[in-house]
Amino acid sequence: MSDEEHQFESKADAGASKTYPQQAGTIRKNGYIVIKGRPCKVVEVSTSKTGKHGHAKCHFVGIDIFTAKKLEDIVPSSHNCDVPHVNRTDYQLIDISEDGFVSLLTENGNTKDDLRLPTDDSLLSQIKDGFADGKDLVVSVMSAMGEEQICALKDIGPK
């Protein structure tokens, strides 16, 4: 055996993968899929017939869940596609800072201060107006593949 000491640099997270494999033929409309490295919600699936050389192909049209851009991909139906782990969590809104970040209250009583206000104009104005009116607001935060964004808003009454 060698006398050298080996140095291992750990660049891994807790081992939880950002995606999981799923056969392309089993992915349905309103499901999720990774297209061009982006988590997308499937809005259209069409399957072509098998050709002379074999595979039926699935044509996916998806909308990026963070940027709302339309992306397309064609995959043989027997192949595996990456499907993102998508989580939705509700947080109570505490504060909005001038630089566009929000302060949220988590379930265990801690604050979460690393989220920006959404880029969607109608949602942005609803949050700002509701907060200015002194309403108690609960925001839904969608997270997938290491990204997080506010995607919905609920009003739980006045403060």
pLDDT number for residue 63:
95
First to last CA, the chain: 68
Q: What would be the CATH architecture of the domain defined by 86-155?
A: Beta Barrel (2.40)
- Cβ atoms < 10 Å from Cβ of 24: 23
- In degrees and rounded to multiples of 5, residue 39 shows phi and psi of -75, 130
Residue type, 61: V
For domain 19-84, give the fold.
SH3 type barrels. (2.30.30)
Query: What is the number of alpha carbons within 13 Å of residue 72 lying toward its C-beta?
Result: 7
Q: Which residues, other chains included, contact 90 with Cβ-Cβ below 8 Å and sequence gap of 6+?
A: 138, 139, 140, 141, 154
**Lowest mean pLDDT across 9-23, 85-99, 137-151:** 9-23
Condensed to tens digits (0 to 9), the pLDDT of residues 64-85 reads 998 889 999 999 888 999 999 9
Give the three-class secondary structure for 25. helix
CA distance 58 to 26: 10
Q: How many residues does the chain have?
A: 159
pLDDT number for residue 4:
63
Sheet with 38-47: strands ordered across: 32-35, 38-47, 57-64, 70-76
pTM of the predicted structure, to 2 decimals: 0.75
- Please name the helix (run of DSSP H) or strand (run of DSSP E) that holds residue 126, with its range, or none: helix 121-132
* CA 54 distance to own-chain centroid: 34
Condensed to tens digits (0 to 9), the pLDDT of residues 36-60 reads 999 999 999 998 887 777 778 999 9
pLDDT number for residue 114:
86
pLDDT number for residue 11:
44
pLDDT number for residue 6:
56
Domain ranges in the chain? 19-84, 86-155
